[in-house]
Structure 1
Amino acid sequence: MHGEMTEQALSDGHRDSVDAHQLPIGAVAPSMPWQWLRQGWGTLWRTPLVSAFYGGLCAAAGLGAVMMSQAMPGLTVKFVIGLLMLGPFLAAGLYVTARRSLSGDRTGIGRSLALDASRRSSLALFGLVLVMVVSFWLMATAVLFALKVTTVAPTAYTGFLGGGMQHPLMMLFTLGSGALLAAAVFASSIVAVPLIVDRDAGPVAAVQASWRAVTANPKPMLLWAAIIVGLMLLGTATAFIGMLVIFPLLGYASWHAYRDLIPQG
């Protein structure tokens, strides 16, 4: 009965928003990321169809990014990094599914999309910001490289204009700037999207709560970030086929991470 009432309230657009600025932040053990993975694996096995759907979307998006960059091979790395940065937003449906699975409600592709719609304003704004950040990074790396690096290695910029990244300095610059931005995106989104999905928090407050969770738990968050990067690289190295399992696994694990980092009152 409670599950049906929850489903009805959410489908009617009920807002259970909270003041995310005042949310208590949980302290977790440094080894907790491994527990989140185990919990995520259990959720994946309970929701095979939804998992396959979102895993397939991620794999298709990755392959599409690579295909789009065929005309400019040097931008392949940038497109892939940009796609990975958008992962937290793309996983919103997985958070919905994990939420419903834990509460005993029925899960399904349609239900995950319907719940996303009830939070569409905040989710859309958060996703728009992510897209703008990634787009800005794509353009800024080219401009900054041209301004700061070409005086040292003019041939590197020539290679960039030709669509290539053969020069080691160009590759190092792109990976370094991408890593810094990815770290900022991670800190901003680790609990932000789950908090929007779960409690209809505003995007600004959700990002602030995410940063508070990261700064309060630096060791487990470093391990969690390393696990995410490692698994994402593994999925990319398999021509994105591995994303069929890795993406939903990380999405569900991130939901369990959120529940430990933001205590459920």
Structure 2
Amino acid sequence: MTSKSTESTPQEDLAPRQPSPPRVNAVTAEDITASLKAGFADFLSRPLMSGFFGLFYAVFGILLIWCLVWLDMLWIVIPALVAFPLIAPFAAAGLYEMSRRLQRNESFGWSDILTVMANQRKREMGWMAFVTLFILWVWFYQFRTVLVIVLQDSSFSDLDGFLNTVFFTPEGWTFLLIGTGVGALLSAVLFSATVVAMPMLLDREMDFITAMITSFGVVRKSPAVMLGWAAIIAVTMLLSMVPAFLGLVFTLPILGHTTWHLYQRAVAPVEA
């Protein structure tokens, strides 16, 4: 009598494998220095094309402030100046692509870079823009709320009067203290969410949630170094805005190229 034995075969998992989240590396001060050197080298290799993105960003800033003054929206000038550097990652998208191609020794022209930028509207970078705009909306809303509560008894009819009230009265100092604290918190959140997320979304096929989580992971793994990098960006951008925004023609491209190289060091390559 023969017994028919049945062998259990492992059931194949028909569900598609989920890609593992990107692995983040610890970032050191040497990584920041090396990325800055590489970013400056990228700028020097294509100064006209890099400078174009800086010029576009600077002109946008000039027009933005001019429109606010023309519309007598004086109260929003200061938060707009503070928040303006926070949208730099979007202006630097073309710079990320330039650095990526330079790193691979690929030739490229204007049409190549602009086409890649235009194609981002079909990918996840649009959702990152939504996140950024939402945080900026919260920033402007809280600024106006604090303005109404703290400076309700103050009056100013022009920009000089507004600045004098803010910087030379006790109420203005209170307003600056509260507004700076809230603004610093929102800026830290936005910086942590986008510092490597923007170049990562341009470089890889992934969702914006994963990109933001990875970006937060980079900041969490090297908080002191990344805080230093945030300070470098903030000080450089704000000083570049002093001479009628024209300093951004040079500093934005260098910082944009640098961000690409820092992303390459902070996030491990895709595992095959």
Q: State the TM-score bracket (shorter-chain normalisation).
A: 0.7 to 0.9
Equivalent residue of 2:124, what SS? helix
Contact 1:94 1:248 in 2 (8 A): yes
Equivalent residue of 1:86, what SS? helix
Q: Distance in 2 between matches of 1:180 and 1:159?
A: 27
The alignment of Structure 1 onto Structure 2 pairs a total of residues equal to 240
* Matched residue, 1:31: 30
Q: Distance in 2 between matches of 1:42 and 1:135?
A: 36
Q: Normalising to structure 2: TM-score of the pair?
A: 0.81
Instruction: Please report how far the alpha carbon of residue 228 of structure 1 lies from its aligned counterpart in structure 2 after TM superposition.
Output: 0.5
* Matching residue's letter, 2:85: L
Query: Structure 2: where are the runs of 5+ without partners?
Result: 1-17, 166-171
Q: 1:126 to 1:66 in 2, by over 3 A?
A: same
Matched, 1:131 2:133: yes
Q: Distance in 1 between matches of 2:157 and 2:183?
A: 21
- Once the two structures are superposed, what CA deviation does each residue of 1:133-169 show, in whole Å capped at 9, x if it has no partner? 21222123222554xxx3xx5xx12448968352222
Bigger CA drift: 93-102 or 172-181?
A: 172-181
Q: 1:235 aligns with which of 220, 233, 240?
A: 240
Matched, 1:96 2:97: yes
**Runs of 4+ residues deviating >4 angstroms:** 160-163
* Matched residue, 2:78: 77
* Matched residue, 1:114: 115
Q: Distance in 1 between matches of 2:89 and 2:238?
A: 16
- Once the two structures are superposed, what CA deviation does each residue of 1:182-233 show, in whole Å capped at 9, x if it has no partner? 1111100011011100002211110000000110111220111111111111
* Matched residue, 2:257: 252
Q: Distance in 1 between matches of 2:155 and 2:266?
A: 42
Identity between Structure 1 and Structure 2 (%): 26
* Matched residue, 2:188: 183
Equivalent residue of 2:29, what SS? coil
Matched, 1:197 2:202: yes
Contact 2:146 2:179 in 1 (8 A): no
- Once the two structures are superposed, what CA deviation does each residue of 1:91-114 show, in whole Å capped at 9, x if it has no partner? 111111111111111233322221
* Matched residue, 2:216: 211
RMSD: 2.0
Contact 2:83 2:136 in 1 (8 A): yes
Instruction: Please report how far the alpha carbon of residue 73 of structure 1 lies from its aligned counterpart in structure 2 after TM superposition.
Output: 2.9
Contact 1:122 1:202 in 2 (8 A): yes
- Once the two structures are superposed, what CA deviation does each residue of 1:56-103 show, in whole Å capped at 9, x if it has no partner? 011111111221221233321111122211111221111111111111
* Matched residue, 2:179: 174
Contact 1:37 1:249 in 2 (8 A): yes
Q: Distance in 2 between matches of 1:160 and 1:208?
A: 44
Specify the structure having the higher radius of gyration (Cα): 2
* Matched residue, 1:87: 88
Matched, 1:224 2:229: yes
Contact 1:92 1:194 in 2 (8 A): yes
* Matched residue, 1:157: 152
Contact 1:122 1:196 in 2 (8 A): yes
Instruction: Please report how far the alpha carbon of residue 175 of structure 1 lies from its aligned counterpart in structure 2 after TM superposition.
Output: 2.4
Query: Structure 1: where are the runs of 5+ without partners?
Result: 1-17
Equivalent residue of 1:131, what SS? helix
Q: Normalising to structure 1: TM-score of the pair?
A: 0.83
Instruction: Please report how far the alpha carbon of residue 180 of structure 1 lies from its aligned counterpart in structure 2 after TM superposition.
Output: 1.5
